[in-house]
Copies of this chain bind each other. A is one copy, B any other.
Amino acid sequence: MSSALPPLTPPPEPVDMPLLAFGSADDEPCLRADAARNRARLLEAAACLVREQGAANLTMEAVAAAASVGKGTVFRRFGDRTGLLTALLDHSEKKFQAAFMSGPPPLGPGAGPVERLGAFGVALLRRTGDELELQLAAEPHPERRFSAAPRRVLHGHVVLLLRQAVPAADCELLAQTLMGYLSPVLVHHLTRQCGMPLERLEAGWLDLVARVTRTDFCC
């Protein structure tokens, strides 16, 4: 994870800011920064609750309580529960992108492409395991399943690493194969419907990366 991003656990100091006051203060840099921090803190609290209790059980009230703010603050910030869930996925997506684009290795730059591919899949599987219901609910219609923006960013990253690892291969197609393994619907099927532990999927990912890149990588 990038060190510039807020940690997954909420910061210890309580920061119950009057978020309503920031609603029309977009031209005030200082207030904008505070509002952004508050928003991130609410989202981190919501992410914790989703990991612990599942997205189906997430309520605006629980987020408010977990972040030690009033319920009205959460409603003013996200509109409704759907707005909160959408913001939560977007927040998680941005954190994950920052981690593989500019965070520490092996997920971020600094490790070899095969090792980075391994770390990418393991990190994405864990994230999907945490947010399964959320990601399933947000699954795009088949027509847009492969062209939706977040999917394209992840796919592009896998193509980039594959081009470094196996430049002679059809990396576009191999990337589709690897991304298919990481699909939330498949993770749901294997872990919830077939009862496989996530660790088996992680080991399977590392084995798949090794086979696809014709390496002996194993960690």
Contacts and interface: CB of A to CB of B under 8 A. Distances in A.
Given A170-B200, A207-B169, A214-B214, A181 B185 contact: no
Interface in A141-184: 142, 145-147, 169-170, 173-174, 176-177, 180-181, 183
A51 B97 CA distance: 42
Contacts of A26: none
Given A142-B136, A170-B200, A190 B176 contact: yes
A186 B178 CA distance: 13
Given A170-B203, A177-B180, A177-B208, A186 B136 contact: no
B204 A173 contact: yes
A49 interface: no
Contacts of A188: 142
A26 B176 CA distance: 48
Contacts of A212: 208, 211-212
Contacts of A180: 177, 180-181, 183, 186
B173 A208 contact: yes
A165 B211 CA distance: 14
Please give the count of copies of this chain that the complex contains. 2
A183 B203 CA distance: 23
A147 B180 CA distance: 16
A142 B185 contact: yes
B185 A176 contact: no
A3 interface: no
Nearest to A181: B177
Contacts of A170: 200, 203-204, 207
Contacts of A181: 173, 176-177, 180
4 nearest A-B pairs in the assembled complex, by CB-CB distance: A180-B180, A173-B204, A146-B189, A142-B185
A146 B204 contact: no
Nearest to A166: B211
A193 B147 contact: yes
